[in-house]
Structure 1
Amino acid sequence: MLFDRVSVPVAVCDVYGAVLLANPAMAAECGTTPGRLRGEDVLELFRPQEATQVERIAEALRLRHRSRYQVSVCWRAPSGAERFGELTADPVSDTAGETPSLLVMLRVEGEREHSPAEPVPVTPVEARVLALLAGGATTAHAARETGLTVDGVNYHLRRLSARWGAGNRTELVARAYALGILATGVWPPAAAPPVPPSAAPA
């Protein structure tokens, strides 16, 4: 099959980002086989650098705009290195009225060696959501406090859960404390202050 022989990482996804079909090159970037990628969320496999990019694309797809969409992403390679690059998604369908699938191509732009001393990357919004959850906030309350929608809060929680392998919200909060994202010994819970570069371990 020609799709399998293409050297560029390629996948076909539904409009929600679930992988329907992936070639070996795409699977290799995730350290797995094409069959195991089926049903996975492409934006959890390859983390967007900016959530606003994803929101704009989702709105455009909802309005059935047919354009090429590009998202800057990063992901953990099988070697442990942090890679970064760009996902390009093209809506494809047999007829104009049909709900399109997305032909997704990955362009690898480079990688950074993994360092155990490197701080765990979370955005200020993600840290705020985690602090609110640690204090017992519901998803709706967290949405009001951060100015996000409920779907927006759930999007960030899904990303964090996939990144850290957390099975539920309790485990997600526990990981946030263990990784130093949330400050210890304070109430209400709050994000830990960022470590200045000069104070980071060598």
Structure 2
Amino acid sequence: MDAGRIEAVVWRNRALTLFDRIAVPVAVCDVYGVVVLANPAMAAECGTTPGRLRGREVLELFTPQEATQVERIAEALRLRHRSRYQVSVRWRGPGGTERYGELTADPVSDTVEETPALLVMLRVLGESERRAPRPAPVTPVEGRVLALLAGGATTARAARELGLSTDGVTYHLRRLSARWGAANRTELVARAYALGVLVPGVWPPEPAAANPENPLTPPPSG
């Protein structure tokens, strides 16, 4: 074995050691989302070992909150686009606790012409109770803003749909982000689904209907 190949093997082994020691759940998948390699942190989120994750489909392990997100990513990969992709997901963590968070997928390959693999990282945002979540207290307007946001609407489009100014929509988003500690719009949508504010499995997204046990907070008077 020549010196170049020996050096390549050494660096590959170092990279794999680092991969295993990273505390963030990480996996390498093929372009179809099948797990090729997973680190112990990713396996722990699935209650298993890295070896048992090989050959599993990542979107069977982590359920997407919005099917259209996955469809857009699949189409972008077919067109060989190399952007970073994010998907809001839920899954059963160790002990059966339902968790929610965000998968980030980065296409990686040695050359532009090669079919890329996917470097997938999981960001855990929180846990849900075992029973169906009760809707968080939001106003009807906030619920409609969140539904439009989940459907991909821009601030300007949401403003037109709701008859508000763009500043008005931004005001509601800032209040919701501060209330839930959301760092960005993707996290805001993920929390809205996890908290029961948006109806899961429905397209276009809809705010959960008010009910006698846990009504949405009515808009302030005046």
Superposed pair shares fold, TM > 0.5: yes
- The answer on whether the counterparts of 1:80 and 1:113 sit within 8 Å (CA) in structure 2 is no
Q: What TM-score do the two structures reach when normalised by structure 2?
A: 0.53
C-alpha deviation, 1:113, in angstroms? 2.0
Q: Provide the rounded CA distance (Å) in 2 between the counterparts of 1:56 and 1:109.
A: 23
Q: 1:19 aligns with which of 30, 35, 58?
A: 35
After superposition, residues 35-54 of structure 1 pair within 5 angstroms as 35-54=51-70
Q: Are the counterparts in 2 of residues 15 and 102 from structure 1 also a CA contact under 8 Å? A: yes
The structure having more radius of gyration, on CA atoms, is 2
Unaligned 5+ runs, structure 1:
120-193
Give me the whole-angstrom Cα distance separating, in 2, the residues matched to 1:82 and 1:195: 23
Q: Secondary structure at the match of 1:8?
A: coil
Q: Which residue of 2 aligns with 1:109?
A: 125
For the Cα contact (< 8 Å) 1:11–1:104, is it kept in 2? yes
Whole-Å Cα distance in 2 between the matches of residues 9 and 197 of structure 1? Answer: 38
- Report SS of the residue matched to 1:102: strand
1:33 has 2:46 as partner: no
1:90 alignment partner in structure 2: 106
Cα distance in 1 for residues equivalent to 2:33 and 2:90: 16
After superposing on structure 2, the runs of 4+ consecutive aligned residues of structure 1 that deviate more than 2 Å are 194-200
One-letter amino acid of the structure 2 residue matched with residue 23 of structure 1:
N
Structure 1 residue matching 2:95: 3-state secondary structure: coil
Question: What letter corresponds to residue 105 of structure 1 in structure 2?
Answer: M
User: How far did 1:10 drift?
Assistant: 0.0
Percent of aligned pairs sharing the same letter:
77
Q: What residue ranges of structure 2 are gaps of 5+ in the alignment?
A: 1-16, 134-207, 215-222
Distance 1:197 1:33 in 2: 42
How many residue pairs align between the two structures? 124
